[in-house]
Structure 1
Amino acid sequence: MNAQRSGFFTAVVTAGIAASLVLGGCGSHTGTNPAADKVPVSVVAASSKKHADPELKTFTFPDGLISFAYPATWTVRTVLPPAGVPGVEAIVADNAGNDLLSVGNGFTAGCTGGPVSRRVLDQATVPGMTASDGTVPVFGFAAESYGNGNGTAYIMGLTDHRSLEEGGDVASWCNLVPTGNGGLSTRVLFTEPGFLNAGAARAWMATDQYAQLKALLVSLTYA
């Protein structure tokens, strides 16, 4: 599957309009091509064979404030939001052109969502990022499910530490990190349901693709 994606990342709050920041089944989002807003099945089937650390490039947003390192064989393209909405979205794709990650920068945004059951599969500090409220965002990979029987959604990106609380009645994941120039949103673009079960998700965590996406997210810096 070749999941080319073009469009603005998840919801922003501008001029009093609010929507949820979501990933893979946690809600809805806007975009010029919603049907293509997903990562290919190869994200699950990626080889578990380990290779040497890849050569890296650095992408810096036009405002010069946020940067990240990514494998040199991958590509980054920028997408502008709808008219009247500030910010820029960077879409990261692998060497086959499959969209893997969205990084949105410079927005006035907010999160909404109900209680979920969450299991955290991985987390790590992000030393180069400090939110405007003084907190340090964290990297996380988690599974969330609602009580309505709609299955499990997998979320991976940067978040506030409160989105990594585990339990059966916690607030749903918020992939917005406040920054001095508005906000940063990060999300790996999983297909639905992403993984058949937690075992498949943990198997993917042993692959190069997972390690490279995690390293990219942890490398994010704010000037």
Structure 2
Amino acid sequence: MNSRRTAFLTAVAVAGVSASLVLAGCGPQPGTPAAASDVAVSGTGERTTALTVPASSMPPSGAPASSSVPASKVPASSAKHGSPALKTYTFPDGHISFAYPETWTVRTVQPPAGLPGVEAIVADTEGNDLLTLANGVTAGCAGGPVSRRVLDQTAAPGMTAPNGVEPSFGFVAEDYGNGEAYFMGLTDPRSLKEGEGVSSWCNLIPTANGGLFTRVHFNEPGFPNRGAAKAWLATDQYAQLKALLLSLNYA
């Protein structure tokens, strides 16, 4: 996905966050996080199985299907099951917490020596990293114009910024002129403006202890077409990731 953004990304200034986040503050991102050093696995949480089905079962859209396998695949049945039992992860400083399915894992990754901030990486039962969150980040985003379609959005009052701005959960498709990229996480409402020429996605929001970064991991392409992305909205995997992000709370 980075190749789609080379001409547009003007700056991502990140102080106090590990190298795996420096290139991922806004705009298209790699499908898997960079290998991290000094990994400490939390003692809470186990794992669950991601919902998958062959790409051939995905609904068509106006765009031609890609031969690549998407990161998030739609299950044969889109019916949601009962809510899973949950555990709570709290970052080491005690401020930001979130709820996640008890069969998923959360591992804590320390940034390079001397840099503030802590990453929490959420994975499924097969060890697939689904989501990265970073707490205590000081950062800023700047990007070029894109065409955006918002597929889902919901207010996230638990992470209201010190200036009173209420961030939102969002799942969007952005077109950089040579194909779509997909983004999902918490963001400033300005990153959910639809249309042509809007500023590209930024998944960093201010908090009282620096900032919070959230990124759901998608490979390239994330989906073979927009119809497949919309179908993913009806899956358990999507519902669980959305619920996790909306459970984020700053105390």
State whether TM-score is above 0.5.
Answer: yes
Structure 2 partner of 1:204: 232
Aligned to 1:4: none
Residue identity over aligned pairs, in percent, reads 64
The structural deviation recorded for 1:94 is 1.2
Tell me the equivalent position of 1:192.
220
Distance in 1 between the 2:174 and 2:122 partners?
24
Distance 1:169 1:124 in 2: 23
Read off the aligned partner of 2:185 and give its amino acid letter.
G
1:14 is aligned to 2:15: yes
Q: Which secondary structure state, in structure 2, belongs to the residue aligned with residue 22 of structure 1?
A: coil
In structure 1, which of residues 103, 106, 122 is the aligned counterpart of residue 152 of structure 2? 122
Quote the residue 2:172 is aligned against.
Answer: 142
Q: Which of 172, 177, 180 in structure 2 is aligned with 1:152? A: 180
Partner Cα separation in structure 1 for residue 174 and residue 116 of structure 2: 30
Q: Distance in 1 between matches of 2:136 and 2:110?
A: 11
Task: Supply the AA of the counterpart residue of 1:117.
Answer: S
Root-mean-square deviation (CA), in Å?
Answer: 2.5
CA distance in 2, matches of 1:27, 1:194: 10
Question: 1:116-155, CA deviations, whole angstroms, 9 ceiling, x for partnerless residues?
Answer: 10000000011211112210110000001113x2x11100
Distance 1:77 1:163 in 2: 28
2-structure distance, mates of 1:42, 1:94: 13
Q: Give the stretch that moved more between structures: 161-170 or 89-98.
A: 89-98
Instruction: Give the distance between the partners of 2:141 and 2:23, measured in 1 at CA.
Output: 7
Contact 1:20 1:29 in 2 (8 A): no
Match of 1:110, SS? strand
| Alpha carbons of structure 1 residues 70 and 168: separation in structure 2 relative to 1, 3 Å | same
Aligned-pair CA distance for 1:76: 0.2
1:182 to 195, 203, 210: 210
Larger radius of gyration: 2
2:84 aligned partner: 54
Gaps of 5+ in 1: 1-10, 34-38
Asked if 1:216 corresponds to 2:219, the answer is no
3-state DSSP class of the match of 1:62? Answer: coil
For the residues of structure 2 that align with 1:30 and 1:205, how far apart are their CA atoms? 23
Post-superposition offset of 1:45: 3.2
After TM superposition, give the deviation of residue 42 of structure 1 in Å: 6.0
TM-score scaled to structure 1, two decimals? 0.84
Residues of 1 paired with 2:81 and 2:34: CA distance?
A: 35
Q: What secondary structure sits across from 1:210 in the alignment?
A: helix
Q: Distance in 1 between matches of 2:244 and 2:13?
A: 23
Q: Number of residue pairs matched?
A: 204
User: Conserved in 2, the CA contact under 8 Å of 1:120 and 1:166?
Assistant: yes
Choose from 96, 100, 104 the match for 2:130: 100
